[in-house]
Chains A and B, each alone.
Chain A
């Protein structure tokens, strides 16, 4: 099994914006405060005490795949996994020195095949390797502090949101490397926004791909219409939501660059 290095899967934009945040003085202060006030322990305690922890005993398949993902992406310690009942379909990394994963039950319910689960776990392991958990804590600390200052978040949001969006590119790359499946990698981008029936009819990554025209239209508009591009930039400053067509397009580019389509490997 090939072991991937961070440079293999971290998207350059993720890397750039992450460095911007980490090298800021605010980040330094937030981390200092975290250490001073024992916040990491409190934060971990909150999850440990309020979410059921999944283990190899309760979820053997998940842990088998997680161990494999850790090996593939060079993470020595298998992180703990917690589950929470949440109507939002989320999976996330949390913690600072001891990162852990949190799945919403809704998200777990939606993942019906091992290959997708493996890809998703790979994405989270890659996120840990790229220090996303630390940056998320910093951004959370900044948000929290900014909440006490009138309009405080106006100053910090653009920098944070830029990174929050681009971290998904890294996650998608890890998913792609783990599954070597273009269609699955593209499909998982839409897993949170489409009902399973509709998702199954999208035929992602094939010549019949039902989303690709929208992606191409979006990119064309952004390249050719300066007003639209400006509006998008302005909107991006105060929203961390990813632009799905961009994510889709980045995955396609990654597959083409790495010629991953022909490197299929089964689980």
Chain B
């Protein structure tokens, strides 16, 4: 049938724009989705594209070739994958009526091809190699979410425009960029919130956000699942702009380049999912998703690097009592029995010096007069797992005159015994919330020390009415005496 391009933009779509519904499942549709869809539906170009897609393209192009090109997923061919698909359908209260295919690809992604009423899910083989079961549940859940919310026709219709634009000779010229891209701007704005909704479906299918975040990161360039555990490390970006603020010309450029990204807008998507997963709405409607995120937040200790400064009390309201744990191991070639490391705390004024010698809390002065700092005793060998020495700090009792507290580790009788920090490994400091045992921060001293006999490990300090933590990790020669002198403590 010849295609009349003039009619193509005038005719009404014969693909029904179905009402969004989540059936019996509580609503998880992103609040902006309906509004953006309405705007999109007002575009005559969009309707023309949809019409063309429904009548000329959808049923006899890509989708028709799938059975000849890809592996069919059945209970016999991929039993584990099929079981996961059934589980995801159950979680999203959907019938198991969609056909799954597997394709040999490296992208760690999945895609639903076709229209809302006639579609198949295609999963890349790399997902089966690299993803855990929960991650696969999230992956399928996301695609089922798109199907459930009737996104498939729209998503595929605009894929078609890209295909035609870039693969037809002079496609750029024929499919007039101004006209098409005008609608594509609206489409892009809708697509982003449609993805927000699908990500929620993914979290519902996987009973938590962690696998969804891992999928996003592993699809976007982070190679290993382990590196994605603390996904918050990648979502701290704050954007000065967002998509809808850009003018049409900028959006045309964005769309021209979008295809090169495995998951466009992955960071705002992760941020949006994170926001939803800790909301009251999620807690009420999807308690498993909420609980999983809450637990993983508790588990995810913030690991610091040398020189890093982080808020201690600002994001932990009510935090007053903390436990400082310091640990280390002795190198295999050194004698553990002879090695004695001592932890100390120096309560310092703004000039970096103590007020009196009693501001030096160590094995010989276990408790500060203010009762704000208490050393829990000397471990003479450093043997065994866990913290080797601990110091309790009550932030509410620290005298106003104290601006910061430095924590140090020194080697006892280092010179006499010919010991130094070159013989010590795996040293760390961590901060625990005494109220619930939650580990808040950890700093692993990765630097290889050699001749040093004392280390300033870290400090906590006042900043605008809050307490902050500073990972220092600086070595000293001269042991405890040198450090004491540095802080203004008289030693004999």
B-binding residues in A (CB < 8 A): 37-39, 41-43, 45-46, 48-53, 55-58, 60, 82-87, 103-105, 108-109, 144, 147-150
Contact = CB atoms under 8 A, between A and B. Distances in A.
A109 B237 CA distance: 25
Nearest to B216: A52
A246 B304 CA distance: 45
Q: B interface, how many residues as a size bin?
A: 35 or more
B377 to A, nearest CB: 33
A49 B267 contact: yes
Given A39-B250, A46-B258, A52 B234 contact: yes
Contacts of A38: 246-247, 250
Q: At the interface, is chain A mostly helix, strand, loop or mixed?
A: mixed
Contacts of B219: 85
B250 A51 contact: no
A105 B219 CA distance: 10
Interface in B160-181: 170, 172-173, 177
Interface string B288-330: 0000000000000001110010000000000000000000000
Interface in B228-272: 233-234, 237, 239-243, 246-247, 249-251, 253-254, 256-258, 260-268
A150 to B, nearest CB: 6
**Which of A43, A45, A104, A147 has the most chain B CB within a 10 Å cutoff?**
A45
B422 interface: no
B466 interface: no
A58 B266 contact: no
Nearest to B248: A37
A51 B261 contact: yes
**Which of A42, A84, A109 has the most chain B CB within a 10 Å cutoff?**
A42
B253 A85 contact: no
A65 to B, nearest CB: 14
Contact of B170 (A45, A51, A150): A150
B446 A105 contact: no
B239 A148 contact: no
B108 interface: yes
A57 B221 contact: no
B280 interface: no
A43 B255 CA distance: 10
A148 B253 contact: no
Nearest to A87: B106
A38 B237 CA distance: 20
Given A42-B253, A49-B268, 6 more contacts: A37-B249, A37-B250, A46-B254, A49-B237, A49-B239, A84-B220
B107 A49 contact: no
B5 interface: no
B234 A53 contact: yes
Contacts of B265: 49-50
A261 B260 CA distance: 40
B217 interface: yes
A89 to B, nearest CB: 13
18 contacts: A37-B249, A39-B250, A42-B250, A42-B254, A48-B237, A49-B266, A49-B268, A50-B220, A50-B264, A50-B267, A52-B267, A55-B233, A56-B305, A83-B220, A83-B221, A85-B220, A105-B222, A105-B223
A49 to B, nearest CB: 5
B199 to A, nearest CB: 14
Contacts of A144: 253, 256
B93 to A, nearest CB: 32
B415 interface: no
A57 B305 CA distance: 6
A85 B250 contact: no
Contacts of B83: none
B448 interface: no
Contacts, number: 115
B163 to A, nearest CB: 16
B249 A39 contact: yes
Contacts of A148: 172-173, 177
Contacts of B227: 58
A149 B173 CA distance: 7
A45 B241 contact: yes
Given A42-B246, A48-B267, A58-B227, A85 B108 contact: yes
Contacts of A108: 223
A161 to B, nearest CB: 20
A46 B305 contact: no
Contacts of B240: 41
Given A37-B250, A42-B253, A60-B305, A50 B263 contact: yes
Contacts of A42: 241, 246, 250-251, 253-254
A146 B13 CA distance: 33
B234 A37 contact: no
Nearest to A58: B233
A192 B324 CA distance: 48
A258 to B, nearest CB: 32
A59 to B, nearest CB: 9
A53 B223 CA distance: 13
Nearest to B307: A56
Given A39-B249, A41-B241, A85 B254 contact: no
A158 to B, nearest CB: 21
A84 B239 CA distance: 19
A158 B108 CA distance: 37
Contacts of B264: 46, 49-50
A86 B260 CA distance: 9
A39 B253 contact: yes
**Which of A41, A46, A60, A82 has the most chain B CB within a 10 Å cutoff?**
A46
Contacts of B261: 46, 50-51, 84
Nearest to B217: A52
A180 B167 CA distance: 46
B62 to A, nearest CB: 21
A150 B221 CA distance: 36
Question: What 9 A-B pairs come out closest when comparing CB atoms?
Answer: A42-B250, A83-B221, A50-B261, A37-B249, A105-B221, A85-B221, A52-B234, A84-B221, A49-B265
Contact of A104 (B221, B233, B251): B221
Nearest to A43: B253
**Which of B170, B250, B260 has the most chain A CB within a 10 Å cutoff?**
B250
A55 B262 CA distance: 21
B63 to A, nearest CB: 25
A199 B264 CA distance: 34
Interface in B397-445: none
Contacts of B256: 144
A68 to B, nearest CB: 15
Given A42-B250, A42-B251, A150-B173, A85 B107 contact: yes
A60 B308 contact: no
Contacts of A39: 249-250, 253
Interface string B60-102: 0000000000000000000000000000000000000000000
A114 to B, nearest CB: 14
